[in-house]
């Protein structure tokens, strides 16, 4: 292992990508009438007893913790040249500044969605404003996937190896999110047309 801190950071980032992808799937499912679906009705009672709301909330907290770990594990190794400011305001980051900024924006967007989902904050915002802020999560998904695909995992500013296993995992998460977003949008359109008819 060339650098254990960098390896930890990379692993936390990959796991965060998978958890955030799953979290977005849950969010899309919760925003639909999934309990009326024939597929949902055929699932075993044990699965149907799981609170998808709680699972959605907890996976968001887990993802936030993983993202923080992904960022903070860059600090202990002085050879990586990251300072705390480079993680949270990365305009002078030592490697791939633009792509690091995208990662930081994804972190802040995730944080905004989690903070505004707290009951007290959500009730003060009102449903419409909260929903509009919550839709930021679609942009967040795009940011974290692009950040994961383009950043050099060894921080040597090399070009992207599109077929590297870690990159393929991020690419698959991105494709799955695009597919799920299209399905969710079509469902929304059908439901809207049904309401008008």
Closest by Cα among 126, 19, 147, 193 to 134: 126
CA–CA separation, 102 and 144 (whole Å): 7
- Taking alpha carbons only, the member of 145, 16, 3 closest to residue 75 is 3
> Would you call 168 helix, strand, or coil by DSSP?
helix
Average pLDDT over residues 69-75: 95
- Please answer whether residues 16 and 66 qualify as being in contact, where contact means their C-beta atoms are separated by less than 8 angstroms: yes
Please say if the pLDDT value at position 141 is more than 90. Answer: no
Q: What angle do CA 12, 105, 110 make, to 5 degrees?
A: 65
What is the domain count for the chain? 1
- What was the pLDDT predicted at 43? 86
Under the banding of pLDDT at 50, 70 and 90, the label for residue 140 is confident
Query: Over 50: is that where the pLDDT of 77 sits?
Result: yes
**Among 19-28, 42-51, 65-74, where is mean pLDDT lowest?**
42-51
Q: Over the chain, what is the mean pLDDT?
A: 89
Cβ atoms within 10 A of the Cβ of 195, count?
7
Q: What DSSP assignment string belongs to 95-160?
A: S-HHHHHHHHHHHHHHHHHHHHHSHHHHHHH-HHHHHHHHTHHHHHHHHHHHHHHHS-TTSS-PPP
For 17-37, the pLDDT digits (tens) are: 999 999 999 988 888 878 888
> In terms of Cα–Cα distance, which of 16, 15, 27 is closest to 180?
27
**Would you call 161 helix, strand, or coil by DSSP?**
coil
Q: Which domain holds residue 116?
A: 4-196
* pLDDT at position 174: 94
The model's pTM: 0.88
Query: What pLDDT sits at residue 36?
Result: 83
CB atoms within 10 A of CB 50: 10
Q: Does position 181 have pLDDT exceeding 60, yes or no?
A: yes
- Mean pLDDT confidence for 111-131: 89
Mean pLDDT value across residues 60-77:
95
For residue 192, what pLDDT is reported?
A: 63
Token output for 170: 């991020």
* pLDDT at residue number 132: 85
In the numeric block, which tokens belong to residue 56? 């959605």
The CA-atom distances, in angstroms, between 120 and each of 39, 103, 115, 116, 179 are 34, 28, 10, 9, 33
For the chain, give the number of residues: 197
């Amino acid at each position: 292992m060339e650098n254990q801190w960098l390896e930890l950071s990379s692993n936390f980032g990959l796991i965060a990508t998978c958890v955030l992808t799953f979290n977005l799937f849950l969010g899309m499912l919760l925003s639909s009438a999934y309990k009326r679906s024939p597929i949902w009705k055929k699932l075993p009672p044990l699965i149907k007893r799981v609170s998808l709301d709680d699972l959605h909330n907890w996976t968001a907290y887990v993802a936030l913790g993983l993202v923080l770990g992904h960022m903070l594990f860059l600090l202990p190794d002085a050879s990586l040249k990251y300072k705390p400011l480079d993680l949270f305001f990365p305009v002078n980051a030592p490697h791939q500044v633009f792509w690091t900024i995208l990662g930081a924006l994804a972190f802040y967007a995730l944080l905004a969605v989690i903070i505004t989902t707290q009951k007290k904050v959500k009730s003060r915002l009102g449903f419409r404003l909260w929903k509009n802020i919550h839709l930021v999560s679609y942009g967040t998904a795009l940011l974290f996937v692009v950040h994961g695909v383009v950043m050099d995992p060894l921080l040597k500013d090399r070009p992207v190896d599109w077929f590297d296993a870690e990159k393929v995992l991020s690419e698959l998460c991105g494709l799955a999110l695009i597919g799920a977003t299209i399905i969710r949008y079509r469902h929304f359109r059908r439901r809207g047309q049904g309401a008008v008819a």
